Amino acid sequence: MSNRSLAKEQPASFAFNAEYLARAKVVIAKYPPGRQASAVIPLLDFAQRQEGWVTRPAIEEIGKMLDMATMRVLEVATFYTMFNLEPVGKTHVQVCTSLPCWLRGSNEVVKACKEKLSLGMGERSADGAFSLGELECSGACVNAPVIQIGDDYYEDVDYASTGKLLDAFKRGETPAHGSAIGRMGSAPAGDQITLTENPTPPPKQDFAAAKAAFEKAKAEAAAKAAAPKA
Amino acid sequence: MPKLTIDGIAVEVPPNTTILQAAESVGVEIPRFCYHDRLSIAGNCRMCLVDVEKSPKPVASCAMPVGEGMVVHTKSDRANKARGGVMEFLLINHPLDCPICDQGGECDLQDQAMAYGFDRGRFHENKRAVKDKYMGPVIETVMTRCIHCTRCVRFATEVAGVPQLGATGRGEDMEITTYLEGALASEMSGNVVDLCPVGALTSKPYAFNARPWELRKTESVDVMDAVGTNIRVDARGRTVLRVLPRVNEDVNEEWLADKSRHACDGLRYQRLDQPYVRVNGKLKAASWDETFAVIVGKLSGINGSKVAAIAGDTVDAESMLALKDLLTALGSPNLDCRQDGAALDPTVRASYLFNSTIAGIEQADALVIIGSNPRKEAPVLNARIRKRYLKGNFQVTVVGDAVDLTYKHKHLGNDLAAFFQSPEAPAGAKNPMIIVGMGALSRPDGAAILAAARAYAEAIGAVKDGWNGFNVLHTAAARVGGLDLGFVPGQGGKDTRGILDAAGKGEIEVVYLLGADEIDTAKLGNAFVIYQGHHGDRGAHRADVVLPGAAYTEKDGTYVNTEGRVQRGLRAVFPPGDAREDWTIIRALSEKLGKTLPYDNMAQVRARLNFVNPLFGTVDKVQPAEWKAFGAAGQISSGSASSPITNYYMTDPISRASRTMAQCTEEFVMGSKQKTGTHG
């Protein structure tokens, strides 16, 4: 992660479109009056979804909408790496390079992306179709290495599958997300090595007998307590 | 009331006290960087770790409330080891550039590294470097030194009320910056320099001027506004190098406004260091004897009623008293200390005081500001209003300029006539207070406004037993002192407007200006003007005779702040050249005139001051003033009540001569400079 600051070139203005404005109002209404600032992260996300990245006018507009200082909005926007502070490509490819993914070979994945897209880290292609970036731990370490494109995770990728994936995007397709090696969710990658046999059912219990024994013990205790003391 | 033991000392403190505060109450000092008792608790520096028995880990004492039966060790091995670890981490990314750092010698990190630092580093990788930020003409930044305590961010947000400072990024990439690297637009911005525990934010005008141990420190009182902020003047040789605040809970807490802090470089420029006499239209340097001879020649044979005196805004009470006694001896009733012509009633003390006191603002629950902009007229007092506002349940109404006061308020326009016709009372307030400013009182119908304001204060219940919420906010440090000692027109005397009128018509032939620069000198006509002051400003330009006096750092003086608090400033340096302390000049002149004033030393002047008004004997205290009728009935004309201060950074001869204030004016008043490619 490098120093995150606002992009040099910024659009002149920002306004939410009707759809996102309606959604923003729903989010703001979730919080009690005077606490609207809690809605800052969803609103920044809406702005990013609408514009593709978080612009300075958007930060200022959100500050006004939530009655909070612009600096406070900027703090949030620069804190979370999920907010793109510079324009990104139509297909924004982010490779997780945190430790678990790196151990599982994210270097190879990064190499594949760089070769396929002819882009360096943090760069955007001239036609605006692709951009390449790093991702802080995506929280999917079980399926490392992980690539995030848009809202989707492409998991268990390696050099070859990354190439195929990017080729598909270049053709304009949107391949199915999930594991590249076809495993279900986070299930083991190979065969199961534990819990292989069918579980034995628990032993049957005679609840009627147990209840009778309990009642009997209770009655005996009561009789003992009622008996005159010797 | 939880009881706990700190380093073997049993202590009982109110609930919700933190361990750090409890420790302080028994004199156990705990090191800290981010904690500051006037700011919210952040708990991010971890330097205040202490050892609490039965706690598995060391505890951050600044953020941990006390508990019943806690046993705290602040000096145990575990606590010391924890702090040593924190210190080592802080120093990982802190450049060890103390020899070239301006904070050296008064740096918290330096001091605490002496106590907790390891004698060598174990970090052999590259240190991080951070780009310096622009924060305005008074704050120098070396952001690589920042340890991210966020004191400056909390100060700007909470006390100053300008949430422009913030921390962007996170982790190692966190940086303190203003929004888009603009200047920190606050009249209190200099305080972040005091708050910064390291050398990341230092004073730009004072940069690389001196080390703290070279400075002679003198306790004094500020005269740039009427708050009477307690200051410490740091001087080396004959030069005042900087001004810092002193703690006074009743006045300024520990804040200082930018003008008071940074106008001190104006004391070096434009100084009057010898007497001048106007010969053939040009001021020529002269000796004291020659100058006095000219004055004596002019004054002999003139009827006292043709002589007048006006006292300025930053004059001490002693020199005003001497001038008043001289004028009385000459038989002149024409004297006034109200340069702006404010209709203040000198006979009723309650009519010109900030009666609720500055600390009393915190007891009020509603505020009506009439014709004042406290943010510009008294920034430190405005910070106190904001402090009260942040506690909640405090409604503020403003009649006057529509400005950002750093707290939310209801603006009722800028027409006093309309306001007083149908005054709006703050709803449901038990202790309402009103602040009447010079914007309202210096209007020609000021007396009527004063009466209307009094009636309004009584109507809304601002004046009652145990509470007086009628407040006048002055803009001049000398004003209340002048009114207290009676530097006002005597029987049949003329006030400032009258003096200027009469001088223009030739009815007054000699005008004595004691540091008075804020009058329209063009109206003085052909009168013979004696100017006594310390700077070559408007008054000196018009003068026929210039007597070089001393600025506030160069004389012992008594000042009365807007609350009526008598405070004494001490001399930090000597006046330059032939300049003298002001009362001694008047005393010497009186001897030449054959009307020798009956005092030869400061003790005698102060005795005379006490005799004139016993209040001058009660130093550092506020005497409640008796509530009586004042003001005059009259028609209030419609019109605005704008604050007299249009440029906060230049209001008196000292700040007008200051380079720093000129830079602030350029930055904040004339609009931000257009940034060019060379601005980084």
pLDDT one-digit tens code per residue, A8-42: 889 999 999 999 999 999 999 999 998 999 999 99
Query: Nearest CA to CA, how far is B128 from chain A (Å)?
Result: 11
Contact B284, B291 (CB under 8 A): no
* Cross-chain Cβ contact A74/B170 below 8 Å: no
* Cross-chain Cβ contact B166/A3 below 8 Å: no
B180 interaction partners in chain A (CB closer than 8 Å): 6, 56
Nearest CA in chain A to B166: A71
Interface mutation vs chain A, best among B179, B390, B679, most A CBs within 10 Å: B179
- Mind listing the domains of chain A with CATH numbers? 18-79 (1.10.10.1590), 91-179 (3.40.30.10)
- Measured between CB atoms, which of A1, A5, A71 is closest to B166? A71
- Measured between CB atoms, which of B173, B178, B179 is closest to A4? B173
pLDDT higher than 80, residue A142:
yes
Residue B528: strand pairing partners: B510
Please give the helix or strand (H or E) that residue B73 lies within, else none: strand B71-73
pTM: 0.90
Residue spans of alpha helices (H) in A30-79: 40-51, 56-65, 70-79
Please list, in sequence order, all residues whose beta carbon lies within 8 angstroms of the beta carbon of residue A185, skipping any fewer than 6 positions away.
A179
pLDDT higher than 70, residue A1:
no
- Distance separating alpha carbons of residues B478 and B476, to the nearest angstrom: 5
pLDDT score of B675? 47
Please give the helix or strand (H or E) that residue B366 lies within, else none: strand B366-370
For B290, the token pair is 């020659």
Nearest CA in chain B to A74: B168
Whose CA is closest to B603, among B615, B591, B616?
B616
- Distance separating alpha carbons of residues A166 and A179, to the nearest angstrom: 15
- Distance separating alpha carbons of residues B433 and B453, to the nearest angstrom: 11
A44 interaction partners in chain B (CB closer than 8 Å): none
B167 interaction partners in chain A (CB closer than 8 Å): 75
Please list, in sequence order, all residues whose beta carbon lies within 8 angstroms of the beta carbon of residue B464, skipping any fewer than 6 positions away.
none
Inter-chain Cβ pairs, chain A and chain B, closer than 8 A: 38
* Coil vs helix vs strand at B270: coil
For B189, the token pair is 């911005």
Nearest 5 degrees, angle CA B627-CA B633-CA B637?
120
- Measured between CB atoms, which of A6, A56, A72 is closest to B166? A72
- Distance separating alpha carbons of residues B189 and B663, to the nearest angstrom: 14
- Distance separating alpha carbons of residues A121 and A134, to the nearest angstrom: 7
Whose CA is closest to B668, among B141, B142, B162?
B162
- Measured between CB atoms, which of A69, A71, A79 is closest to B169? A79
Query: Nearest CA to CA, how far is B47 from chain A (Å)?
Result: 24
Q: Find the mean pLDDT for residues A188-208.
A: 84
pLDDT score of B427? 86
- Distance separating alpha carbons of residues B459 and B20, to the nearest angstrom: 46
Whose CA is closest to B561, among B251, B227, B119, B329?
B227
pLDDT score of A27? 96
Query: Nearest CA to CA, how far is B173 from chain A (Å)?
Result: 6
Interface mutation vs chain A, best among B131, B132, B168, B175, most A CBs within 10 Å: B168
ipTM of predicted assembly, 2 dp: 0.87
pLDDT score of B677? 43
Residue for token pair 């622009």: B134
> In chain A, pLDDT over 70 holds for what percent of residues?
98
* Cross-chain Cβ contact A71/B171 below 8 Å: no
pLDDT score of B422? 86
- Distance separating alpha carbons of residues B261 and B255, to the nearest angstrom: 10
From chain A residues 18-57, the ones with a CB under 8 A of any chain B CB are: 56
Please state the length of chain B: 680
Please give the helix or strand (H or E) that residue B481 lies within, else none: helix B479-484
pLDDT score of A2? 54
Contact A144, A93 (CB under 8 A): no
A6 interaction partners in chain B (CB closer than 8 Å): 180
Nearest CA in chain A to B177: A71
pLDDT score of A230? 59
* Cross-chain Cβ contact A71/B165 below 8 Å: yes
Please check whether residue A136 touches B, CB under 8 A: no
Query: Nearest CA to CA, how far is B154 from chain A (Å)?
Result: 12
Contact B314, B223 (CB under 8 A): yes
Please list the ranges in chain B whose pLDDT falls under 50. 674-680
CA atoms lying within 13 Å on the CB side of residue A230: 1
- Measured between CB atoms, which of A5, A6, A75 is closest to B166? A75
Contact B174, B167 (CB under 8 A): yes
pLDDT higher than 90, residue A138:
no
Please check whether residue A200 touches B, CB under 8 A: no
* Cross-chain Cβ contact B166/A2 below 8 Å: no
- Distance separating alpha carbons of residues A223 and B110, to the nearest angstrom: 81
Helices (H) and strands (E) in chain A, counts: 8, 5
